[in-house]
């Protein structure tokens, strides 16, 4: 068995171990994820702009700069 | 201060005690987490039954009861503390049975009714989206129910073929 496979098995077992938490503990985890998602959503506008600015254009997409140049 | 779900539990119990609903039970991802690893979810889903068969309008009194306690609507849900709560009137013999046979769990000292694992699985089977199939697999992996249990329940609710297709696709090598 390779080291990587052993690592993956340990990680899988660790993740499955979360099933043994109590129901309230698991719900508190879900609440923390919800709060994180809400924060992300609140910060979405500036983040979207930042992500868009750093993103390479996809195939066939025209960047704003190129569009201006064409016009 | 109450935690998010504790506040939901107290509200649901108060709603039943006041006769606004006859009974309730959590289902969906929140209920699933009682049996499996935690999963990400953005809302809490609650099955509810009307106080009498003559009740035509169930959601209106629920919304009024919540509004009187300061919980306002948010989209198709009602915001209760941290959670948008979606109230779903029982809509089939399967969901009716899931509600009647739900278990009462202890949520940090507060009783909270929750749908059983096998009913969750068969409700998921009846809905049939990818995330519903993932829920069934998670419940099976947790050993909170057996394949035979699900097969029997699915057959009783006219879902034997759907269960066979699910087994063929995901469980049979």
Neighbours of B34 (CB within 10 A): 23
Q: Is the per-residue pLDDT at B43 higher than 70?
A: yes
Q: What's the ipTM?
A: 0.86
Kindly list the residues from chain A whose CB atom is less than 8 angstroms away from the CB atom of residue B30.
Answer: 27, 30
Q: Is the per-residue pLDDT at B160 higher than 50?
A: yes
Q: How confident is the model at residue A59 (pLDDT cuts 50, 70, 90)?
A: very low
Q: Is the per-residue pLDDT at A42 higher than 90?
A: no
- Nearest beta carbon to residue B82 from set A23, A24, A31: A31
Average pLDDT estimate for B41-61: 90
Judged by DSSP in three states, B12 sits in helix
- What whole-number percentage of chain B has pLDDT above 90? 90
- Nearest beta carbon to residue B108 from set A16, A24, A33: A24
* Stretch among A44-53, A59-68, B68-77, B86-95 having the lowest mean pLDDT: A59-68
Structure tokens at A57: 């254009």
Average pLDDT estimate for B126-130: 96
Cβ–Cβ under 8 Å, residues B32 and B44: no
- CB-defined contacts A:B, below 8 A: 50
Average pLDDT estimate for B59-79: 95
Per the model's pLDDT, the better-predicted residue between B89 and A15 turns out to be B89
Q: Is the per-residue pLDDT at B10 higher than 60?
A: yes
Cβ–Cβ under 8 Å, residues B123 and B33: no
A22 touches chain B (CB under 8 A): no
Q: How many residues does chain A have?
A: 71
Query: Are the Cβ atoms of A26 and B108 closer than 8 angstroms?
Result: no
What local confidence, expressed as pLDDT, does residue A54 receive?
54
Q: Is the per-residue pLDDT at A62 higher than 80?
A: no
Taking the CA atoms of residue B3, residue B7, residue B13 and residue B14 in that order, the dihedral angle to the nearest 10 degrees is 150
Q: How confident is the model at residue B105 (pLDDT cuts 50, 70, 90)?
A: very high
Q: What is the pTM (predicted TM-score) of this model?
A: 0.83
The residues near B120 (Cβ < 8 Å, ≥ 6 apart) are B27, B31, B32, B35, B98, B135, B139
A33 touches chain B (CB under 8 A): yes
Q: What is the mean pLDDT of chain B?
A: 94
What local confidence, expressed as pLDDT, does residue A37 receive?
84
- Nearest beta carbon to residue B105 from set A16, A23, A35: A23
Looking at chain B, which runs of residues are DSSP E strands? 23-27, 44-49, 73-74, 77-80, 83-89, 103-107, 110-114
Tell me the per-residue pLDDT of A46-56, one tens digit each, with 9 for 90 and over.
655 555 455 45
- Nearest beta carbon to residue B37 from set A18, A27, A31: A18
The residues near B123 (Cβ < 8 Å, ≥ 6 apart) are B27, B94, B95, B98, B115
A34 touches chain B (CB under 8 A): yes
A6 touches chain B (CB under 8 A): no
A29 touches chain B (CB under 8 A): yes
Q: Per mean pLDDT, which of A29-33, B80-84, B113-117 is the most reliable?
A: B113-117
What local confidence, expressed as pLDDT, does residue B54 receive?
77
Q: Is the per-residue pLDDT at B156 higher than 70?
A: yes
């Amino acid at each position: 068995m390779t080291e990587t496979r052993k690592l993956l098995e340990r990680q899988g077992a660790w993740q499955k171990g979360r099933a043994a938490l109590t129901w309230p503990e698991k719900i508190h985890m879900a609440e923390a994820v919800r709060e994180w998602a809400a924060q992300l959503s609140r910060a979405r506008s500036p983040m979207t702009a930042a992500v868009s600015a750093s993103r390479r254009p996809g195939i066939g997409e025209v960047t704003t700069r190129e569009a201006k140049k064409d016009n | 201060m109450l935690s998010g779900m504790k506040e939901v539990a107290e509200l649901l119990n108060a709603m039943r005690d006041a006769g606004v609903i006859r009974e309730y039970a959590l289902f969906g991802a929140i209920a699933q987490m009682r049996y499996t690893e935690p999963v990400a979810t953005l809302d809490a889903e609650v099955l509810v039954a009307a106080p009498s068969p003559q009740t035509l309008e169930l959601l209106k009194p629920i919304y009024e009861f919540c509004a009187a306690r300061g919980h306002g609507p948010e989209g198709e849900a009602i915001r209760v503390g941290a959670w948008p709560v979606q109230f779903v009137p029982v809509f089939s013999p399967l969901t009716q049975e899931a509600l009647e046979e739900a278990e009462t769990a202890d949520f940090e000292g507060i009783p909270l009714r929750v749908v059983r694992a096998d009913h969750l699985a068969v409700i998921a089977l009846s809905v049939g989206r990818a995330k519903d199939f993932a829920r069934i697999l998670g419940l099976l992996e947790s050993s909170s129910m057996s394949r035979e249990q699900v097969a029997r329940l699915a057959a009783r609710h006219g879902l034997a073929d759907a269960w066979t297709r699910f087994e063929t696709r995901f469980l049979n090598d």
